[in-house]
Amino acid sequence: MFRNKILYFLGIGGIGMSALARWCQNEGALIFGYDQQPTKLTNELISEGMKIHFTPDINLIPENIEQVVYTPAIPSDNPEYQHFIKNGLPLMKRAELMGRITQDIPTIAIAGTHGKTSISALTAHILVHAGINISAFVGGICRNYNTNLILSDSTDYLVVEADEFDRSLLKIEPDIAVISSMDEDHLDIYTDKDDIHNTFIEFAQKLKDGVLIYNSKLVSLKGINKRQVSYSPKHTATTQCTSIAIKNGKYIIDIETLTGKLSDVEIQIPGLHNIENTLAATSVAVEVGISVDKIKTGIESFKGVERRMDYRINQDNCIYIDDYAHHPEEIKTTIATLRELYPSKRITGIFQPHLYSRTRDFADDFANELEKLDEIILMEIYPAREKPIVGITSGLLSEKIKNENCRVLSADKIPGYIAEIKPEVLLTMGAGDIGLLVTKIENALKKI
């Protein structure tokens, strides 16, 4: 499909776009692209042979481009995007490219408003560990492989994230589908919660002859006329926990599946939500035909994903965890996990809101969850694709948070402030460029 073609990726530094660019290059394409700023990831892409620039300039675009791939996060007034529109170059959304890639390969598609990346990464790792030839697009850097794209010379299964933003998931026709959650989100795209639910149901109905694997709390999915497997850590389900214990800060669980029991499984990543993620990945592995013994050793050798309950420092005097949480439900789960693990320690959280519209739509929910921290530091809103909305600022969240230990700080002030207050447990959260601060904060803490 791509051999010797010249492709241009507009927004190439995004986690999803970069994986697609890597896939296309592996298929023999020549890759060019633009993004707002250099990052560790774009540096890696350049070292892999891609030509990338960081100033929107039509003079830096090659003349012989055969296909432009763009992310919907690119603003419509971006000069390069406008150039492609005016000159009639073939434009393809990220989701459409993913849909084309999955057409001819048996596809395991992981959907849900939360948990997609963790489930995809763990599923991919279990399958690789069991000797299955898979390729996987993951929305984060898998620590076992140090990449967001796992490649195999021959691909028996493709593992992909089915993103609900922009209804992208509807471009995929999966052989195995997972739906982890259907919470209200992306209200700049969806009219209401029912619209979101209906879109996930439409996605499930696109299944070929495979199975729908879903979190048992999503009762509205039970009526879909597809073969179904449910999972739950608390309730009766096809894949369920029969025992949950905590030992040395880790969950030890027993899992009952259709093909047998996994006993004393040690979950490597903290949080009850990661038990749910483990059950989802286990369900996929059972469907693929992996033995329970191989599934267990796959789970226990999984090292996690960067920015998903990601321990940066884990010492007696300082614990620092970085997480991608950017929705009130995710923040709720992440804080609850830390309270369970460190009940006697003071927890400081740094949060960067993502999108003006999401901040507006969930301002009260954000405030209710963030005020459960002992100290809250807010960064200014990361706009991504959006223009500012009058009155919607991090200051608005600060006013709503019923905790006097709350302040708004600029990014450049945060490392120094953190070194000054010497937190016992520090948590950074957000889906914007807060990730660029992580190493600076880590270095500041190590100097204490």
Q: What is the pLDDT of residues 424-438, one digit of tens each?
A: 999 999 999 999 999
Provide CB contacts within 8 A for 126, sequence distance 6+.
Answer: 281, 282, 284, 285, 290, 294, 295, 298, 299, 302
Strands 310-314 and 319-323: antiparallel
Half-sphere exposure of 79 (CA within 13 A, CB side): 11
State the Cα–Cα distance between residues 396 and 406, nearest whole angstrom: 12
**In 10 A of CB 404, how many CB atoms?**
9
Please state the φ and ψ torsions of residue 122, each to the nearest 5 degrees.
-70, -45
pLDDT at site 62: 92
**In 10 A of CB 242, how many CB atoms?**
11
State the Cα–Cα distance between residues 330 and 335, nearest whole angstrom: 9
- Where residue 136 falls (left for φ over 0; alpha for ψ -120 to 50; beta otherwise) is beta
**Could you give all domains of the chain from N- to C-terminal order, each with its CATH number?**
6-93 (3.40.50.720), 105-300 (3.40.1190.10), 310-446 (3.90.190.20)
- Structure tokens given for 21: 């660019």
Helix (H) or strand (E) holding 52: strand 51-53
List residues bridging with 407 in a β-sheet.
377
Please state the φ and ψ torsions of residue 425, each to the nearest 5 degrees.
-130, 125
Angle at CA 328, nearest 5°, toward 323 and 334?
40
CB 145 within 8 A of CB 318: no
The DSSP call for residue 191 is: S
The secondary structure of 234-251 as a DSSP string is SS--SEEEEEEEEETTEE
Supply the mean pLDDT for the chain. 94
- In this prediction, the residues of the chain whose per-residue pLDDT falls under 50 are none
The residue whose two tokens read 């009058």 is 390
The DSSP call for residue 271 is: S
pLDDT at site 59: 94
- Structure tokens given for 163: 């993103």
